[in-house]
Each structure stands twice: as C-alpha cells, then as structure tokens.
Amino acid sequence: MKRGFLILAVSLTIIAFITAYLIYTSLSVKTRHLERGYYVGGETILLPLPYVMSEMSVEESILNRKSIREWSSEAIGINQLSIILWCTYGVTEKIGDWYRRSVPSAGATYPLEIYVVIGERSVRVNETTYIDAGVYHYNPLTHSLNLVKRGDFRNDLYEAALKQEWVGKAPVSIVIFAVYERTTGRYGERGVRYVHLEAGHAGQNIYLCSTALGLGTVAIGAFHDSMVAEVVSAKAGEQPLYIFPIGVPAKPYSSSFDNVHRIIIENRR
C-alpha cells in the first residue's frame, strides 16, 4: 500500500515536470523569433539580430576600403545585409525617450530614412530561399524591413542613376533619403549642412562594414532625384541623397600597411 502510494507520487511529479517543460518550450518557440530574429517573409522581415560578424579591425577596413563597381554573380547573405543596415542607421543604446544610433546626429534629430532595393535571388536566407525581390524600408527600432512594393526594381534604379552599370547589376542597393525638416526645424538653414554631414557618416559606415565582410560598395551621388524617389515610392518630404549598391566584388582587393608606409616615407624625402 505504502509502495503503491510512493509510485503514484513519483509518477505525478514526473508528469508535472514534463507538462511544465512542454508549456515552457511551446511559449519560448512562439517568442524566440522576436529575440533572435529570422526571416518571416511577407510584408515584414525581422532581420537576424546584429552581432560581431567580421574579424577585421577598423584600421584594416579603412585600409582596404575602396569603391567597387564590378560584382560577381553571387547573392549576399541575410546576415550580411542585417549587419550592414545596423551599421548604417541601427540603434545602439536607449537613453530616456530616445535611441542612440550608429551615426552621430545634430541634436539627435535623426533625419535619415533608409530604403533597400533588393533584386531577384539576391539576398540568401538559406541554401534554397531568398528574400523576395522588392523595395523595403528599414525600421531601425525593430531592426526589420517593411515591404514597400514587390518586384525587381534594380533596372529602374539603374535608369534613375544615369545608367551606371554597377547600380543595375548589384544584388542590393541601400538608398539614403533625408527629411530635412526634422533638422532644419531646430537649426534653420544650417540644418541642411548637418543632414548632409550625417548622410556622410552613414555612408562611410556602409563602406567600412561592407569591406570588413568581404563585400564591396560605391557611393553614388549622380542620379535624378525625382526618379529615385519614384523607384522606392518615397513619402512626401523624403529627399534622396545617396545610393550604395552592394555586392560581392568580382576581384578581391586588399592593400597593406607596408604599401602605406612606402608612400609616406617616399613623400617625406
């Protein structure tokens, strides 16, 4: 009798543990994608959460940075796109009611809006899946991409950028827009200068991050503003400033500090 009671108590305890474990795992499966982030398809793509992806130092990245205009046919990875977008304008810290970003901003007014033009089979999610071709808008606070419109708009961007081939052929282009009013509202005309300086900070981050990942980019300033705005269906008040086509360089490139030293010593003579 006593033994039967003991077996019953042990069995009930085991069942209770198993039930608790099953409830816990089913709940954590539901929320896990919010913590880690992964491709969900459809209208919103929760990007993989940013982390340190490259082993290259800042100095090496600056050393090896150069404008790349020829791409291999390879797609880039979703992790690579994720970290490049985070470097462009991602959040780094919450301070009271505002969020510090990856770039400095006059009065923390953050006037930039980031769009991404993604081609067909251009951003790999895994061996067989790619992000749908389309125009997306980057949301830094949730580190996600919101679909603006579906389709491969790289050719339209190429036309808008005075038919620069490297724009049409890159798998992905980041397009930086500005809402001047956010900064000029506080600083008047001088705010225009501040917005341009901030776009430069974001652009350099794109260069350095791409280089560190073994990817390449080139700053594009020559384009028809109204056509670029139309390509991404920009909102009223958003002005295009910069396009950064990104891809795998056709020819790997690296410089060396020996090279730099030679130049400096030569110039000292």
Ligand X SMILES: Cc1cc2nc3c(=O)[nH]c(=O)nc-3n(C[C@H](O)[C@H](O)[C@H](O)COP(=O)(O)O)c2cc1C
Least distance between ligand X and beta carbon 241 (Å):
9
- Alpha-helix runs per DSSP H in the chain: 2-36, 58-64, 78-89, 154-160, 165-169, 181-187, 190-212, 225-231, 257-268
Q: Which is nearer to ligand X, 219 or 227 (CB)?
A: 219
Least distance between ligand X and beta carbon 128 (Å):
34
Contact yes or no for 179/241 (Cβ under 8 A): no
Q: Scanning residues 158 to 197, which ones bind ligand X (CB under 6 A)?
A: 164
Under the binding rule (CB under 6 A), the answer on residue 229 touching ligand X is no
Least distance between ligand X and beta carbon 155 (Å):
17
d(CA 50, CA 36): 9
Beta pairing, strands 76-77 & 123-124? parallel
Under the binding rule (CB under 6 A), the answer on residue 220 touching ligand X is yes
Both tokens of 101, joined, read: 């970003």
Under the binding rule (CB under 6 A), the answer on residue 219 touching ligand X is yes
Q: Which is nearer to ligand X, 77 or 214 (CB)?
A: 214
Q: Spell out where 91-222 has E strands.
A: 91-95, 98-101, 112-118, 123-124, 134-139, 144-150, 172-178, 216-217
Under the binding rule (CB under 6 A), the answer on residue 218 touching ligand X is yes
Least distance between ligand X and beta carbon 168 (Å):
12
Contact yes or no for 75/121 (Cβ under 8 A): yes
**Nearest position to ligand X, beta carbon:** 221
d(CA 91, CA 246): 21
Q: Which is nearer to ligand X, 107 or 252 (CB)?
A: 252
Both tokens of 121, joined, read: 């089979």
Give how many residues touch ligand X by CB under 6 A: 9
- Can you tell me whether residue 50 is helix, strand or coil? coil
Binding marks (x or -) toward ligand X, 41..70, rule CB under 6 A? -------------------------xx-x-
Q: Which is nearer to ligand X, 86 or 166 (CB)?
A: 166
Binding interface with ligand X (CB under 6 A): 66-67, 69, 164, 218-222
